[in-house]
Amino acid sequence: MKITMPYGKEKVRFEIPDQNFIGMMDPEFVNPIADLDRAIEAAIDHPFGCDPLDQIVVPGKKIAVIIDDGSRPTPQNKILPILLRRLEKAGARREDIRIVAALGSHRYMTEDELRERVGDEVYSNYAVMNSEFRDPEKLVYVGDTPEGVKILASKVVMDTEIHIGVGCLVPHPVMGWGGGGKILYPGIAGEKTVAYFHLKASLFDENMFGCDTTPIRNMMEGWVNSIGLDFIINVILNAHLEIADVVAGHYIAAQREGVRRGKKIVGYQVKEKADVMICSSHPADQDFWQSPKAMYAAEPALKGEKGGILIMISPNYEGIGPHAEYPEYMGRDDGDEMVRAIFRREEVKGDPLAIAVGNSMSKMRRRRKLIVVGDGVTKEEMEQCGCEQVPLNQLQALINKVIEDNPDCRIGALSNGAETFLYN
């Protein structure tokens, strides 16, 4: 069987013998919304779990429209003009609206990236900026976690009185699904708050990708409720990253409805488990901080709770990503002890976020054999992670070797790994 899969903006091709190949585990393609303006207007007018937007907007009050950053494929430049027209129609003044890219702990977006994300017209007529996660002067204290960690949030958002989140609904390794309150926490939180989320999640030795909800999401939603997220617009994208559906309203009610719909759009029922899964990281191709979402997506298709091989194809354009220590902690087996020591407020050297995500991935590494195919990360980096690295031009040779070692192995493949929900 000849197979073509995404490799970032390019394509990669390889072959799997018919007797070994289960098939592509890609969702059935869903056409995009034909009249996007009308669909978003209708979602705004018929929200889930809260009043319509024009009843939430109060003229004279400052509004933060919080959008996801460049690591997400949400077509913000198509959504924002519709939302902004509705805000102004409801009485909001343009000078009272600021658009904030929720970075979490991702790198700061450049001016050119912000302009491209929101579109020229929006960028030229509204205040568009990054959230803050490092500078203490630009963060606001809003409370404490049960372990006594200070919850800090970006001042540019907390200085406003109405908060509106705009993002997309995709499966997520920690939250089960994205969307909803995640745009606020950890989206606009300080770095230590972001780390706390991931540290808590790393203590779970299970794959929560695609769960309706998770302990971490439940915790997050409680915090969001104490501060306020007044309205959300969440879209669901098809395999071509086009908007296939849209929901709006309360950050819990609308998000849950979006998840219900999203499962039908990006979901695929696994009918036969595999010995080997080959997945593309598309569209989370930015770096090795984002691309392993494809591994979480593909893992449910492997046989058993342990064993099997996960082969991820990814360009990892920006290498390891924003946390250089991450490979070290992914390669260690004592992550739980380090995390618990951090919660006991003991002195632990190292980047807490790198420790947290590294600990989560180390558990997957111990469950499955992980192989990364692509030229954006080095062999040495992946060896430190406890993975193998194979150059892109050796992909076919790798597949041939896997079959040579196990002639009867069954192999599945997944194209849009970072955005597909596999279920049994």
- Considering only CA atoms, give the Rg of the chain: 21
Asked if residue 339 belongs to a domain, the reply is yes
- The verdict on residue 97 lying in a domain is yes
Shared domain check, 158 and 63: yes
Residue 135 lies in a domain: yes
Which pLDDT does position 249 carry in this prediction?
Answer: 97
The whole-angstrom separation of Cα 391 and Cα 333 is: 27
Is the Cβ–Cβ distance between 341 and 400 less than 8 Å?
A: no
Please write the tens of the pLDDT for every residue from 85-105.
Answer: 999 999 999 999 999 999 887
157-184 tens-digit pLDDT:
999 999 999 999 999 988 999 999 999 9
How far apart (Å, rounded) are the C-alpha atoms in residues 180 and 176?
12
Query: Are 193 and 228 found together in one domain?
Result: yes
In a domain, 8, yes or no: yes
Can you tell me the mean pLDDT for 381-388? 97
Quick one: 186 and 287 in the same domain? no
User: Do residue 110 and residue 228 come from a single domain?
Assistant: yes
Residues 292 and 188 reside in one and the same domain:
no
> In 3D, which of 247, 268, 230, 271 has the Cα closest to residue 87?
230
**Nearest residue to 161 (alpha-carbon basis) of 74, 61, 239:** 61
Same domain (yes/no): 223, 314: no
Measured in residues, the chain has a length of 424
Residues 225 and 359 in one domain: no
pLDDT digits (tens, 9 = 90+) for 265-294: 999 999 999 999 999 999 999 999 999 999
Q: Is the CB of residue 288 less than 8 Å from the CB of residue 329?
A: no
Domain assignment present for 30:
no
The CA distances from residue 29 to 238, 239, 246, in Å, are: 7, 7, 17
Looking at the structure, tell me whether residues 329 and 418 fall in a common domain: yes
336 is in which domain, residue-wise? 2-25+270-423
Give the per-residue pLDDT at 185.
87
Could you count the other beta carbons within 10 Å of the beta carbon of residue 129?
18
The structure's pTM equals: 0.88
pLDDT at 237: 94
**19 and 101 in a common domain:** no
pLDDT at 150: 78
Domain boundary residue among 215, 238, 265? 265
Q: Could you tell me the pLDDT band of residue 147, with boundaries at 50, 70 and 90? A: low
Give how far Cα 23 sits from Cα of 26, 283, 296, Å.
9, 21, 19
3-state secondary structure string, 314-379? CCCCCCCCCCCCHHHHHCCCCHHHHHHHHHCCCCCCCCHHHHHHHHHHHHHHHHCEEEEECCCCCH
CATH assignment at residue 346? 3.90.226.30
Please, what is the average pLDDT of the chain? 93
Q: Report the C-alpha gap between 284 and 289 in whole angstroms.
A: 9
319, 288: one domain: yes
Residues in contact with 405: Cβ distance below 8 Å, sequence separation at least 6, in sequence order:
none
CATH of the domain at 214: 3.40.50.11440
Average pLDDT over residues 112-123: 95
Q: What is the total count of domains within the chain? A: 2
d(CA 65, CA 72): 16
In whole angstroms, what is the distance from residue 385 CA to residue 145 CA? 30
Instruction: Identify whether 202 is part of a domain.
Output: yes
DSSP category for residue 189: B
Which of 218, 237, 265 is the last residue before a domain boundary?
A: 265
Predicted local distance difference test score (pLDDT) of residue 11: 96
Answer yes or no: is pLDDT of 149 > 90: no
- 35-102-53 Cα angle (round to 5): 45
In a domain, 31, yes or no: no
Would you say residue 390 has pLDDT above 90? yes
Listed in sequence order, the residues at least 6 apart from 59 whose beta carbon sits closer than 8 Å to its beta carbon are 90, 91, 92, 93
Residues 410, 376, single domain; the answer is: yes
**Are residues 111 and 222 located together in one domain of the fold?**
yes
| Closest residue by Cα to residue 85 from 32, 33, 121, 49 | 121
Task: Give the residues across from 372 on adjacent strands.
Answer: 312, 389
In a domain, 392, yes or no: yes
The model's pLDDT over 41-63, given as tens digits with 9 standing for 90+, comes to 999 999 999 999 999 999 999 99
Q: What is the mean pLDDT of residues 110-136?
A: 93
Q: Which residue has the higher pLDDT, 394 or 107?
A: 394
Instruction: Say which residue, 188 or 48, is predicted with more confidence.
Output: 48
pLDDT above 70: residue 151? yes
Q: Which of 265, 296, 318 is the last residue of a domain?
A: 265
Q: How far is CA 407 from CA 19, 229, 276, 385, 400, in A?
A: 9, 54, 12, 28, 10
Residue 362: pLDDT over 90: yes
